[in-house]
Structure 1
Amino acid sequence: MTPLLLPFRGTWIVENSPARRVPSHGTTAFGSSHAIDFVAVRDGRTAPVRDWRTAVATEPVDRFYAFGQEILAPAGGLVAAVQDGVPDLVARRSPVARMRYALTQLSRARQGARGLAGNHVILDLGGSFLVVAHLRNGTVAVRAGETVTAGQPIGRCGNSGNSTQPHVHLQVMDRLDPFAATGLPILFRDYVLHHPDGTEQFVARGLPDTGTVVEDRSLSGRAGAADGAPR
């Protein structure tokens, strides 16, 4: 497939990457076999605060760096479907809170795309469908039938649907209906890997692995660099 742009600005850490395993989220259901998640980080942290709630309870969703950040269209295409109006949930970094939440996952699956993806946008890329999920309630900025360009704002990062912490979830499917869809491989272009030693590596085309920190560089004028070439 044509490589996508990262759908955000700033530094984000990769979670559940298909570069690590397929199916990346432990299931092939709902076209999610090659899905990938991104969580905003600063200095390696997803939030500036850790307290007793982090260990044993839920947390306010707005303490996380990702919450409310602008999300951009990873590719140009026709808006095939949108969902807005799903409330954002509290965050759950605590293993105890996550365990309780996992017990309600089946009920969310019964709600379909609303319960799993929360507020989301699905783009028709011409033969495949790109899902951008877990957007903030009330921020979806496009409508079904609208044509968008790569890099256009489509909403803000939230914690709606099947989500324990504000993040953006991407997946590509072979059809619009997630209950009948098969997941497709995904690639990205023109991004930088931030290594723990402070060095950067520009990637013209690739798939970042789980645990790596990435940043969009599509406007940096470095699109001619070799795949994976260090900078």
Structure 2
Amino acid sequence: MADAVELALPFAGTWLVQNSPARRVPSHGTHLFATTYAIDFVAVRGRRTADVRDWRTALGTEPPERFLGFGLPVLAPGTGTVVAAHDGERDHEARRSPLALLGYALTQASRARAGGAALAGNHVVLALDVPGVFVVLAHLRRGSVEVRPGQRVGPGDVVGRCGNSGNSTQPHVHVQAMDGPDAHVARGVPLAFRSYREHGRDGGVRAVALGVPGEGTVVEPA
């Protein structure tokens, strides 16, 4: 991890790890839009992403408000300057049912053709004080972005709130590091997180000083 940019987790509480670069690279299955080392976090209680399950969970779509992460603060993972802040995209209905997920997957190509901003939804791009490293925090809740270009931020500062905008099937935080401010032409940069606890599938807990959370683990700041 000598070449990885070191970040703080961009949230409080417990979050499930999905699309981890600890499992595969490119983590999201593509190098497009600098997502090579991107990682997703979904807020959980235990391992539940929502407290409600009903017929909509099995057969249709669900309101994003029923998910635990929706509206939770998203924090700056490092010290830097805001270079882009986009808001105004709607929060989509969420999808957990296989039927709803299949329909969404079939429209993935059209969303990709719409470009990186359409995929990211409401998002913030930070230029870290580490030279040549930019971090994207994506899928923020509409109306929640609290920063503007040129603003300085530090670890723990609130930049927005978790939402379900852009290419998202349920509220989550997408984090990626890249070597330029424009995801259309930038390349992904490896990332690692400082000072967290990782809850494994077997129930074990380990303290991590610096690492990349494993797929399917649950993490929280130490």
Q: Same fold (TM over 0.5)?
A: yes
Question: Which ranges in structure 1 are unaligned for 5 or more consecutive residues?
Answer: 218-231
Q: Tell me, what secondary structure is at the counterpart of 2:156? A: coil
| 1:187-226 correspondence runs (5 A) | 187-196=192-201, 198-217=203-222
Instruction: Please provide the CA RMSD for this pair.
Output: 1.2
Which among 29, 47, 62 is matched to residue 59 of structure 1?
62
Q: 2:69, 2:208 → 1: CA distance?
A: 23
Aligned equivalent of 2:40? 37
Structure-to-structure mapping, 1:1-231, within 5 angstroms:
1-125=4-128, 126-196=131-201, 198-217=203-222
Residue 166 of structure 2 aligns with an amino acid whose one-letter code is G
CA distance in 2, matches of 1:84, 1:195: 35
1:222 corresponds in structure 2 to none
- Contact preservation (8 Å) 2:201, 2:216: no
The alignment-based identity, stated in percent, is 60
Contact 1:11-1:213 within 8 A present in 2 as well = yes
Q: What displacement does 1:195 show?
A: 3.6
What do residues 78-116 of structure 1 show as CA deviations (whole Å, max 9, x unaligned)? 101110000000001111111111222233223323310
Q: Secondary structure at 2:6's aligned position in 1?
A: coil
Return the structure number with greater strand share: 2
Tell me: CA distance 1:107–1:19, structure 2 relative to 1, closer, same or farther (3 Å): same
Please tell me the residue identity of whatever aligns with 1:213.
V
**More deviation, 110-119/147-156:** 110-119
Gaps of 5+ in 2: none
Determine the C-alpha separation between the residues in 2 that align with 1:127 and 1:195.
Answer: 34
SS at match of 2:62: coil
Query: Aligned to 1:202, what secondary structure does the other structure show?
Result: strand
8 Å Cα contact 1:113-1:178 kept in structure 2: yes
Aligned to 1:155, what secondary structure does the other structure show? strand
Distance 1:209 1:161 in 2: 25
CA–CA distance in structure 2, aligned partners of residues 204 and 198 of structure 1 = 19
Runs of 4+ in 1 over 6 A off after TM superposition: none
The 3-state SS of whatever aligns with 1:115 is: helix
TM-score w.r.t. the length of structure 1 is 0.91
Kindly state the Cα deviation for residue 197 of structure 1 after the two structures are TM-superposed.
5.6
CA distance in 2, matches of 1:195, 1:32: 25
In the alignment, residue 12 of structure 1 is paired with which amino acid? W
